Chain A
C-alpha cells in the first residue's frame, strides 16, 4: 500500500482462518493500522487485493463490506454522540432491515413491528455486554470503559462473520482487560472470526491463536503465541524500538 512516495505496507500475505482469533502486532509505524484499514475497506490497496470467501472486496464502499459480514470497532471510539446507547446499537441493524422506502414512509404498522424486533435484538446484545441498564443514556455520557463496550456492542449488532477490533484494550485497566478477553471468547463461541490489532501484549498472548507480526511494512513472523514470542526477529524489532526511544 503506497501513500504517494511512501510505501506503508509491502507485500503482506495474510490469511484468516474461519472461527479463529487472529492478532496483528508490531512496533509503532509498522503498518498495522494501514493493514487493518485495508481489510476493513477504508483504504483501497494500491496493489494487491483483499478476498473474502474467494470474492474480491477491496475497493468496495465500506458499507457494502459491512453488509458482507465485516464489522469493525474504532480505536478512537466513534460513537454517535446525539444518541442513546440503544439507538447506537439500532443503527447497526440497518443492513438487516427489510422494509423499503415506501413502507418506511407510509406504513406505521410494519415500521413499528420492525423497530420492536430490532429493539429486542439490541437489548440482548446490551445484556451480553452487561450494559443494558444504560440503554437510554446518551452514549458519550458513559465512562470510557463502558463506552468501549458500546462500541463493541455496536459492531456485534451488525451480526458479522468477521469482527475487526482496532486496539480494543487501549486505555483499559487490568480488570477491564480481563473482561474484554472473556467477551472476546464469548463472541468466538458464537462462531464469529476475530481479527485484532493490539499493543497490549498480555491480551494478545492470551487470546490469539495465530499472531502475525509486522515491522516496517513487512511481515516478519507468524504463528501461535509461543512461536512468535520466542522469535528472534520479533524480539529485535521491539527491542530495536526501545533502544531508539532510549536515545531520545
Chain B
C-alpha cells in the first residue's frame, strides 16, 4: 500500500510540474490558446459528466448554460460594474440555478425524451440571448469585456491566463472528486443504476436529479465567465448546438461516469481540432473514432483501461459458487 501511495504521489508531482512548465514548452501563442481552451472544455466536461455519467441525467443544454454564464458574467462586469472576482462565482451560482430549473423536466421524462427537452430548452436560452437586444446586444455580441485584474495586475495574455485557468481547472477537478467520492456521488450513481431501488432505500431521487443538473450549470457558468473574460468578447453563436455536440463527444470518448475521462476526452478532441490542416482526412478519422468508441467502448477510453485492469484482476481470483450456500 505504501509503495502504491508513494508512486501515486510521484506521478501527481510530476504531472503538476509538467502542467506548470507547459507554457514554456509551447512555441507559439496559438498553442497556448489551445491549452487555455482545453482547460475551459475540461470544466464543461466535468459538469456534463456529473450529470450524464454519474447521475444518468441527459443534459444537452450545457453549451447554452455556458453561454448564459458567459453573458451573466459579462453583463455583471460591463453593465453593472461589478468586480470580476465577484462576478465569477456569481455567474456560477446563477447558472447553477438555471441549470436546476432545466432539470425539472427530468422528473417527468427520461432518456431520449429528456435529451429532446434539454435541446429545446437550450434553444430557448439561445433565442433569448439573440433577441433580448436591449440587454444582450443581440447577435452583434458584446466587445471589450474587461480582463480580470488581481492587485492591479491584468490577466490578459494567453500566458498569464494559462495559470489562472490551470488553478480553476484543478479546483474544479478536486471539487468534483470530493462530491463524487462521497454521499452525493453515491446517491447520483444509485439514481442512475436504479432510481426505483434508490427511492426504496430512502433516497430523494428528485432532489438529486435536480442537483446534478444544477452542478453541471455551476461548472458551465464558471467556464462561461472564464471564457468571456479571456477572449473579451461574447456572442450567441459561440454557444450553440455544435458546441454542445463537441462537448458531448469529449465526454463519450473520454468516458462518461469517470471524471478522469473528462480530462482525456477534452484533450483528445482539442488535439484533433488543432490538426485542422489535414481537413478531410481529419473528419474521416474523427468520425470513425467516434463510431468505434460508441459501439465498442461505451465507457470511453478510461473504460477501456479499466476493463483491461479488471480482466487482469479477475483472472487471478474467482469467487467459488459453493460459498453461496452457507
Bound state CA distance, A145 and B324, in angstroms?
Answer: 5
B-side contacts of A130, CB under 8 Å: 326
Residue of B with least CB distance to A83: B189
B-side contacts of A154, CB under 8 Å: 201
A72 to B203, Cβ gap below 8 A?
A: no
B-side contacts of A175, CB under 8 Å: 325-326
Bound state CA distance, A48 and B269, in angstroms?
Answer: 59
Residue of B with least CB distance to A72: B200
Q: What's the nearest-Cβ distance from chain A to residue B200, in Å?
A: 6
B-side contacts of A92, CB under 8 Å: 201-202
A62 to B178, Cβ gap below 8 A?
A: no
Kindly identify which residue among B178, B197, B323 contacts A143, using a CB–CB cutoff of 8 Å. B323
Bound state CA distance, A40 and B202, in angstroms?
Answer: 12
A78 to B194, Cβ gap below 8 A?
A: yes
From 187 to 233 in chain B, residues with beta carbon under 8 angstroms from any chain A beta carbon are: 187, 189-190, 192-194, 196-205, 211
B199 to A78, Cβ gap below 8 A?
A: no
Chain B CB within 10 Å — which of A137, A145, A173 has the most?
Answer: A145
Bound state CA distance, A95 and B204, in angstroms?
Answer: 9
User: Does B319 interact with chain A (Cβ within 8 Å)?
Assistant: yes
Residue of A with least CB distance to B184: A104
User: Does A120 interact with chain B (Cβ within 8 Å)?
Assistant: no
Of the listed stretches A14-22, A108-116, A221-229, chain B binds A108-116
A-side contacts of B178, CB under 8 Å: 105, 108, 111
B-side contacts of A40, CB under 8 Å: 200
B179 to A179, Cβ gap below 8 A?
A: no
A-side contacts of B192, CB under 8 Å: 82
User: Does A87 interact with chain B (Cβ within 8 Å)?
Assistant: yes
Bound state CA distance, A130 and B326, in angstroms?
Answer: 9
Bound state CA distance, A85 and B198, in angstroms?
Answer: 15
A63 to B205, Cβ gap below 8 A?
A: yes
Q: What's the nearest-Cβ distance from chain A to residue B304, in Å?
A: 17
User: Does B133 interact with chain A (Cβ within 8 Å)?
Assistant: no
Interface residues on B, range: 20 to 34
User: Does B149 interact with chain A (Cβ within 8 Å)?
Assistant: no
B-side contacts of A137, CB under 8 Å: 319
A83 to B193, Cβ gap below 8 A?
A: yes
- With A80-B193, A146-B324 in contact, is A91–B186 under 8 Å at CB? yes
User: Does A245 interact with chain B (Cβ within 8 Å)?
Assistant: no
User: Does B183 interact with chain A (Cβ within 8 Å)?
Assistant: yes
A66 to B199, Cβ gap below 8 A?
A: yes
Q: What's the nearest-Cβ distance from chain A to residue B129, in Å?
A: 29
Provide the main secondary structure of the chain A interface.
helix
User: Does B2 interact with chain A (Cβ within 8 Å)?
Assistant: no
Q: What's the nearest-Cβ distance from chain A to residue B108, in Å?
A: 14
- With A92-B202, A176-B325 in contact, is A111–B182 under 8 Å at CB? yes
A-side contacts of B198, CB under 8 Å: 63, 80, 91
Residue of B with least CB distance to A68: B202
Q: What's the nearest-Cβ distance from chain A to residue B310, in Å?
A: 9
Q: What's the nearest-Cβ distance from chain B to residue A171, in Å?
A: 11
User: Does B312 interact with chain A (Cβ within 8 Å)?
Assistant: no
B-side contacts of A90, CB under 8 Å: 183, 186
Residue of A with least CB distance to B193: A80
**9 sampled A-B residue pairs with Cβ under 8 A:** A62-B199, A71-B200, A80-B197, A83-B189, A83-B190, A91-B198, A92-B201, A104-B183, A104-B184
Q: Assuming A82-B189, A130-B326, A144-B324, what are 18 further A-B pairs, CB within 8 angstroms?
A: A63-B198, A63-B199, A66-B201, A74-B197, A80-B189, A81-B194, A83-B193, A91-B198, A92-B202, A94-B203, A101-B211, A111-B183, A114-B183, A143-B319, A145-B325, A157-B201, A158-B201, A176-B326
- Residues of B that sit less than 8 Å from A by CB: 175, 178-179, 182-184, 186-187, 189-190, 192-194, 196-205, 211, 257, 319, 321, 323-326
The 8 nearest A-B residue pairs measured at CB: A145-B324, A95-B202, A143-B324, A78-B197, A66-B202, A80-B193, A62-B199, A92-B201
- Residues of A that sit less than 8 Å from B by CB: 40, 61-63, 66-67, 71-72, 74, 78-83, 87, 90-92, 94-95, 97, 99, 101, 104-105, 108, 111, 114-115, 130, 134, 137, 141-146, 154-155, 157-158, 173, 175-176, 179
